Amino acid sequence: MISRRNFCKKAMLFIGGVAVPVAGLEIFNPQRLLAEKQDPAKVRWVFLVDTRKCVGCGFCVRACKLENEIPYDANVSRTWVERYVVTRDGKVHTDSPKAARDGFTTKAIDQAGKGMLEIRDEDITKAFFVPKLCNQCENPPCVQVCPVGATYQTPDGVVLVDRTWCIGCGYCVMGCPYGVRFFHPVYKAAEKCNFCYHRISKGMKSACVEACPFGARTIGNIKDPEDPVTRIIMTERVAVLKEEYGTKPQVFYLGMSKEVK
């Protein structure tokens, strides 16, 4: 005869014995682990920046901040524009005051703690603007280092952050060689450019692309050979940023210069 005490004991053991492997399998579902990328996606978003067309008006930054609800006065931004001024002595001066939210309305270079640097017009040998945004890397280091799976790559190649799951460790911020990540001042979670995922998934273009009056920013689908952006990337000489990190960035640049960091 089985006593009640014994029955309870055995039942607990059994439940525990079943629950543990079931719960264990939850983490390592072999089938899911095997599910390799078979590349079923028909869309892979890429970005094309023509630095020769950029005039540094900063409308893109403004539009981005308003569209994506990044507090307007906070000193962080999903996208920004850099100014490069090369002088006769070979020095490169770079700045991006307030992420170029209000454009570049002074000739002086903002050197942060070192104050403003006035440069005489005749000393300038080369000067241009470079818009920056998330590269939506093919091998995103920020996703690799997220300890909890709060950031991930969508099947169409965009890297997103789950604000309800991010623990805010900052490892992704450290892992990004491009410095595009930051903590959202309101939501506190890690934040980054996502090509305006809510727009592109509705067939619209990113806010910065719409806001650019000069056509310096364009977005396209590299899987579609008819896409004008794809055509340019396929046929013209384009560059990417910091290729040496092996991130396979998907923001392509026309008119790139060696000074660009």
The torsion angles phi and psi of 49, rounded to 5 degrees, stand at: -115, 125
Residues in 55-114 that interact with another protein by CB under 8 A: 55-59, 62-63, 66-67, 74-77, 80, 82, 85, 92-96, 98-99, 102-107, 111-114
Binding to another protein by residue 195, rule CB under 8 A? no
Compose the 140-179 pattern: x for residues touching another protein by CB under 8 A, - for all others.
xx-xxxxxxxxxxxxx----x-x-xxxxxxxx-xxxxxxx
- In whole angstroms, how far apart are CA 241 and each of 46, 66, 261? 14, 26, 7
SS (H, E, C) 81-106: EEEEEEECCCCEEEECHHHHCCCCCC
Q: Does 248 bind another protein (CB under 8 A)?
A: no
Q: Which is nearer to another protein, 140 or 220 (CB)?
A: 140
Determine the Cα–Cα distance for residues 190 and 168; give it in Å rounded to an integer: 6
Is 251 strand, coil or helix? Answer: strand
- Determine if 217 is a binding residue for another protein (CB under 8 A): no
Q: Does 124 bind another protein (CB under 8 A)?
A: yes
257, amino acid identity: S
Residues numbered 36 to 55 that lie near another protein (CB under 8 A) are 36-37, 40-41, 52-55
Among 9, 10, 42, 188, binds another protein (CB under 8 A): 188
**Which range, of 1-9, 208-216, 219-227, 228-236, touches another protein by CB under 8 A?**
208-216
Please name which of 59, 99, 102, 58 lies closest in space to residue 75, comparing C-alpha atoms.
99
Q: Quickly count: other Cβ atoms within 10 Å of residue 65's Cβ.
A: 22
- With binding defined as CB under 8 A, does residue 239 bind another protein? no
Question: Dihedral through CA 29, CA 30, CA 33, CA 38, nearest 10?
Answer: -120
Whole-angstrom CA distances from 217 to 134, 207, 254 are: 13, 10, 10
List the one residue from 8, 116, 204, 234 that touches another protein (CB under 8 A).
204
Q: Which is nearer to another protein, 44 or 227 (CB)?
A: 44
The residue range among 2-10, 33-41, 217-225, 228-236 that interacts with another protein, by the rule CB under 8 A, is 33-41
DSSP class of 134: -
CB of 228 to another protein, least distance (A): 16
- Beta carbon of residue 117, minimum distance to another protein (angstroms, whole number): 10
* CA–CA separation, 109 and 91 (whole Å): 13
194 binds another protein (CB under 8 A): yes
- Determine, following the binding rule CB under 8 A, whether residue 223 of this chain makes contact with another protein: no
